[in-house]
Amino acid sequence: MLFSQGTPDLSFGIDGKVLTKITKNRDDIGQSVTVQSNGKTIVIGNSFNTIGYSDIGIVRYKANGRLDKTFNGTGKQLIKNAFCNVVKVQQDGKIAIGGSVAIGSTTAFGLWRLNSDGTLDNTFGVNGYQEVKFGGYVICFAMTLQNDGKILIGGNDGNFYAGNSSLIIARLNTDGTLDNTFSGDGKFSFNLTKKSLTCKEILLQPDGKIIAAGVLDTVRDPVFINEFYAMRINSDGTVDGTFGNGGYTRAKATTSDVAYSAALLPDGRTVMSGFSDFGSYNRASVLALNADGTVDNAFGTNGWVYPDFYGGSGIFTATMAQTNGKIILAGVIYNTNATSSIGLARLNDDGTFDLTFAHAGRDTFFNGGIYCNDATMQNDGKIVVTGWQLKGNDYLMTARFLNGTQFQKMEPVVTNAKIGELNLFPIPVSGTSARLIFTVREPVEAIIRIYDLNGREITAPLRVQCSGRMFDQTLSLPENLHNGIYVCTVEADGVLRTVKFEIHNF
C-alpha cells in the first residue's frame, strides 16, 4: 500500500470524494471552499432550478467528509434567490460569503455573514446581509479578508462581452458598512478605453497593498482577445503607479489567454493561472510576475508554463502558494475521450514540475463528468477541491488530496517473510484499543508502529517478541483521535508489513 503526495485522501468521504445534494431535483454546483481552524470544511454552491434561478447552499463537513450536523442542525444552510462565488472564514470563526443579487434590471454585490453555527450574523449589515451597488450589471468573482477584519470584494461592472466593463472592488468595515477611507466612498472602479476588465482574485501583500488579478478583453468581431491582467492598488484605494506599466500589467502569449485565479508567493511574486487558446484546444496555463509587476522571464519559458495532462484540454481554476514557494494548481481537464476530471499539478518556484508530486508533477483524478471550480489548502497542507459531478441532476462535489510530507515508506512484501499478512480488528475501530493479528512462521522480534496519513507516529513504537503460530496483540490508541484512516506497520527481519484501518468514534 502506498500513500503519496498528490493522490486522493482515502480518509475523506468515499475514496477521497463526497457528493452532496443541496436541493432535490436541482443542479448543485460547488463554487468555493475554505477550511476552518478545527479542520472542518465549508463549501458554498449554487442550486439552480430548470430556468436558471439560483439559491445559495452552504455545507459544512467534518474532517472525515461527513455532514457536520452542528451546523444549522443539518450540516446545510440555504439562502434564497441569490448567487455566490466565494467564501472565507474570519479569525473569529464567522463565515463571509460574497456573491451577486438582482435589483430590478441591475445587479449588485451581495454579502452574507454567518455565525460559526450556520445562523445569520445579525451584527453584519441588515440581518446578516449587505449589498453594494455600482450602478450597473455587477458580478462578484473575488473576496478576501484583511487582518483588521475588513472585507474586500471584487468583480466587474458593465457588459464584459460588449467591451465596456470596469474592474471594481469595494471595501467594507466589519459591520458591513462601506469603508470611506478606501477610494473616498469605499468603492474602487477602473477601466480602459474599449476594453473590458474583470477582477478574478484579490491578493493582499504584507504591506497592505492590493493585487487585483483577472482578465482584460478586447472585442474584435467576431472574436474576443483575452489577456492575463493584474494591477496593484494602494491600501487607500488609489492606483499604485510603481507596479507594471502605470499600475497594471497585461500579458498574452497565444490568441487568447484567460486568467481565473492567482496567488502571492513568499518572495513577493504573483502567480496567475487559467488557460491559453492554442487553436484547436486549450492548455492550462500559468504566468509569473515579479514583485514590480513585470513578467518573470526566469519562470518557465518567458514567464509561462503550459502543463500537459495526457493531451487533454485544461483550465486551472485555483492557484495556491506553499510557504516553501512551491505552487499548487487545480482545475478541470477535458480528456481526449470527451470526459472531464480534476487536474492537479505542483510546480517548483521556477516553473519546473515538482516530480515528487502525483505523476511527474501532475495528474488527473475521478474521471467522468467531474468539474473543479475552486481549491484551498488545509493547515496540514492537504488540498481540498470543490466543483460538481454530472449525475442526473448535478451534485455538489468536494474532494481532498494528500500533500506535504506524507507517509510513503512501504516496502515490498517478501514471500519467505517470518510474519504473514496483518489483520486489525474491529472494523472500523471504535474507542482506544484494537487487536492486531498475524501469523508467525518462526520466532522473530518485531516493531509495531501506528501512523496517520501525514506520516506522523501517533503512538510510541512497540517492540514485541513473536513466537508460536499466531500473534495476537491488543494495541492502545490515544484518546480523542479524529475519525479517519490510519496505518499500522510491523517491521520484522528486514520486512515491513502494513495494514490500513479506519477509526470511527460515533
Asked whether residue 50 carries a pLDDT value surpassing 90, the answer given is no
At residue 3, does pLDDT exceed 60?
no
Q: What is the mean pLDDT of residues 81-92?
A: 95
Domains and CATH numbers, the chain: 423-503 (2.60.40.1930)
DSSP category for residue 76:
E
Is the predicted pLDDT of residue 161 greater than 70, yes or no? no
Distance CA 301, CA 317 (A): 21
Give 303's DSSP letter.
T
Eight-class DSSP state of 431: S
pLDDT at 408 over 50: no
pLDDT at 493: 85
Mind spelling out the 3-state secondary structure of 144-193?
Answer: EECCCCCEEEEEEECCHHHCCCEEEEEEECCCCCECCCCCCCCEEEECCC
What are the Cα distances from residue 25, in Å, to 50, 81, 394? Answer: 9, 16, 9
> For the chain, what is the mean pLDDT?
90
pLDDT band at 358 (very low <50, low <70, confident <90, very high): confident
How does DSSP classify residue 72? Answer: T
Which pLDDT value is given to residue 231? 98
- Cα separations in angstroms, 285 against 198, 206, 282, 303, 435: 18, 26, 9, 10, 50
Instruction: Check pLDDT > 80 for residue 186.
Output: yes
Winning range, highest mean pLDDT, from 272-281, 299-308, 366-375, 397-406:
299-308
Of 38-52, 87-101, 435-449, 482-496, give the lowest mean pLDDT range: 482-496
Q: Which three cell numbers stand for residue 261?
A: 485565479
pLDDT more than 70, % of the chain: 94
DSSP state at residue 331: E
What's the confidence (pLDDT) of residue 12? 94
Q: Determine the Cα–Cα distance for residues 197 and 292; give it in Å rounded to an integer.
A: 20
How high is the pLDDT of residue 483?
Answer: 81
Question: Would the pLDDT of 54 be above 50?
Answer: yes
What confidence score (pLDDT) does residue 1 get? Answer: 35
User: Over 70: is that where the pLDDT of 87 sits?
Assistant: yes
Q: Is the pLDDT of residue 407 over 70?
A: no
The pLDDT, as a whole number, for residue 31 is: 97
Sign of the alpha-carbon torsion through 266, 272, 274, 279: negative
pLDDT recorded at residue 163: 66
User: pLDDT category, 10, cuts 50, 70, 90?
Assistant: confident
Of 102-116, 122-136, 399-413, give the lowest mean pLDDT range. 399-413
Task: Confirm if 411 and 495 have CB atoms less than 8 A apart.
Answer: yes
Look up residue 272 and give its three cell numbers. 496567475
Amino acid type, 494: G
**Alpha-carbon distances, residue 239 vs 65, 102, 231 (angstroms):** 43, 29, 8
| Average pLDDT for 402-431 | 66
pLDDT given for residue 117 in this prediction: 94
DSSP 8-state class, residue 372: E
pTM across the whole model: 0.80
What average pLDDT score do residues 304-312 get?
A: 91
What's the confidence (pLDDT) of residue 206?
94
Residue 102 bridge partners (DSSP): 107
170 to each of 210, 232, 350, how far by Cα in Å?
A: 12, 15, 34
Who has greater pLDDT, 370 or 338?
A: 370
Q: What's the pLDDT score for residue 222?
A: 61
Q: Which pLDDT score, from 0 to 100, does residue 412 have?
A: 38
Q: What is the pLDDT of residue 457?
A: 86
For 209-243, how does the pLDDT look when each residue is reduced to its tens digit (9 = 90+)? 999 999 999 876 666 789 999 999 999 999 999 99
